[in-house]
């Protein structure tokens, strides 16, 4: 019964809409304020300064594009892997900051969110959504499905 619920077109649609929206919102927040995001990355004290600017300029675009593709339903499995990998990276950074005792802004969005257990639990939810989309990549309600159905030639019966 649980598999039937998880493998439901509407369940996957909701998972895509939630995860895609989060990635678009977080990505756009960082695209708008790359200096702030670079500063937040520096606060983690994990990357050399040379890499921080490259990271701050590319990661938000990757997040936003991944989110848009999830919303549209394009290459679901690939974008589930990408969003899951980014989420694992974020969880790793937050965990290391917590272990080091850093009380810093997580840098997730324009809103100040401190690293900590609540952020890790939130990210765990996002990771589970990515896993759900990967395991059950339903094609209904996707742009790929719509385009494919338009390209199929109609069958003519005599």
Containing structural domain, residue 130: 2-151
Structure tokens at 127: 């990771």
Confirm whether 123 is domain-assigned. Answer: yes
Token look-up 């937050």 returns: 94
Cβ-contact 70, 133 below 8 angstroms: yes
Confirm whether 52 is domain-assigned. Answer: yes
- Into how many domains does the chain fold? 1
pLDDT at 130 over 70: yes
| Bridge partners of residue 114, in order along the sequence | 105
Confidence class for position 100, pLDDT limits 50, 70, 90: very high
Confirm whether 156 is domain-assigned. Answer: no
Structure tokens at 137: 């990549």
Average pLDDT, the chain: 92
pLDDT at 154 over 70: no
Confirm whether 40 is domain-assigned. Answer: yes
- 149 vs 143: which has the higher pLDDT: 143
Q: What is the pLDDT of residue 157?
A: 67
Distance CA 26, CA 139 (A): 25
Q: What is the pLDDT of residue 1?
A: 78
Query: What does the angle CA 83 – CA 22 – CA 17 come to, to the nearest 5 degrees?
Result: 85
Confirm whether 158 is domain-assigned. Answer: no
- Which stretch of 1-15, 83-97, 115-129 has the lowest confidence by average pLDDT? 1-15
């Amino acid at each position: 019964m649980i598999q039937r619920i998880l493998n439901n077109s509407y369940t996957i649609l909701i998972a895509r809409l939630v995860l895609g929206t989060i990635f678009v919102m977080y990505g756009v927040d960082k695209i708008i304020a790359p200096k702030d995001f670079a500063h937040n990355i520096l606060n983690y004290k994990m990357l050399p300064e040379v890499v921080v600017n490259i990271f701050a300029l590319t990661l938000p675009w990757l997040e936003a594009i991944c989110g848009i593709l999830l919303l549209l339903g394009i290459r679901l499995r690939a974008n589930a892997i990408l969003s899951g990998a980014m989420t694992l990276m974020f969880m790793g950074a937050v965990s290391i900051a917590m272990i080091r005792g850093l009380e810093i802004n997580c840098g997730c969005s324009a809103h100040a969110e401190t690293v900590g257990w609540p952020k890790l639990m939130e990210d765990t939810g996002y990771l589970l959504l990515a896993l759900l989309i990967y395991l059950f990549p339903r094609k209904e309600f996707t742009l790929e499905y719509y385009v494919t159905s338009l390209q199929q030639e109609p069958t003519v019966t005599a």
